[in-house]
Amino acid sequence: MLEQIPDLTTSAGWLPLAFMLVMGLAVLAYVILDGFDLGVGLLLQLGDGDAQKDTMIASIGPFWDANETWLVLGIGILLVAFPVAHGIVLGALYLPVALMLIGLTLRGVAFDFRVKARDEHKATWDLAFFAGSLLASVAQGYMLGRMVSGFTENLWSYLFACLIGLGMTSGYALLGSTWLIIKTTDELQRRAITWAKRSIVLLAIGVAGVSLATPFVSQRIYEKWFGIENLIVLWPIPAMTAVTFVVAYRSLSRLPERLDQGLHDSEWIPFASTVAIFMLAFHGLAYSLFPYLVMDRITIWEAAAAPESLMFIFVGAIIVLPVIVGYSVYAYRVFRGKATDLSYY
């Protein structure tokens, strides 16, 4: 692999790597931030009555639209910084990308219409919000699975992509339920704890299945993980993931008792643990794929635009990124605390 990495002291060497890092962090930020509001959408139909559903929607109201900025940023970097890979990736994923966009559009329409709809139509828009969330979640996981397999055309690769689609959906449901634990109170908060305990079991099964299956998707990934010299160094990643699952489940099990005692200081632990699980999974995935953008076909440097173009874009990224980060931090700070009634007036 080392012979595929050019001199990193030159602009042609470090610029593609810098953009790959930014794109990866943008995708990770999207998965975590938009993941919890997709998760709330997945759980919406489980709410007991309009009051609970309104509170669930209110918990993501100030954030959900801005969270998708990170998806736009990630795809934008793929387009302008890695045009060769952009054509291959989106060409191979045309259908799931279209389905994801349909799902996100459906969510946006349902989010606004459910508030102003007549009572007899509100349930329809709630169902539409759930359907859009489910469609977007499964499509995103499926796309990830296809990318990991290098778009191989065989039954095993398609089954692997479907497995990741289900795993991603359960992960989003866990993010959503743990977010609701932070943002809600009373009965809805207790129900969110129950949803989270169910979701974490499904996610644990999914992570274990994907972790076992991924090395067999590509011979290169297998060698990177199961070579004896690498196995000794990399064992902390699955070990830390397992420990984090245990911490999350134990915190969920203890939380009802602490709430009965009036203690709310540990409400954030399940959500933080879930974020840590996603970050560890992302770390393992990045290690598996590097230095490829299209597995076993195109490396970061082979897919990159000309260094002059990348430098121009790099200057713009330095200006835009702090604005996006600053706005996100400000929004989460302003709307911290428990969710209140959602109002458009």
Distance CA 32, CA 29 (A): 5
- Kindly report, residue by residue over 156-201, the tens digit of the pLDDT: 889 989 999 999 999 999 999 999 999 998 899 999 999 999 999 9
pLDDT attached to residue 3: 47
pLDDT attached to residue 139: 95
- The answer to whether 282 and 26 have CB atoms below 8 angstroms apart is no
Residue identified by tokens 């339920």 is: 177
pLDDT attached to residue 196: 96
Distance CA 47, CA 44 (A): 6
- The answer to whether 9 and 309 have CB atoms below 8 angstroms apart is no
Give CA 281 to chain center in angstroms. 11
pLDDT attached to residue 231: 67
Picking from 171, 203, 199, 196, the residue whose alpha carbon sits closest to that of residue 252 is 196
Q: Which two tokens stand for residue 138?
A: 């499964």
Q: Which two tokens stand for residue 128?
A: 């539409």
The single-letter code of the amino acid at 106 is L
- Kindly report, residue by residue over 68-120, the tens digit of the pLDDT: 888 888 888 888 889 888 888 888 899 999 999 999 999 989 988 887 767 77
The H or E element containing residue 122 is: helix 119-148
Q: List per-block mean pLDDT (blocks of 10 residues) for the chain, which spans 345 residues.
A: 65 88 91 92 90 90 84 88 87 92 92 78 90 95 89 87 92 96 92 95 88 76 73 80 93 89 85 94 87 86 89 88 88 83 55
- The answer to whether 262 and 255 have CB atoms below 8 angstroms apart is no
pLDDT attached to residue 343: 57
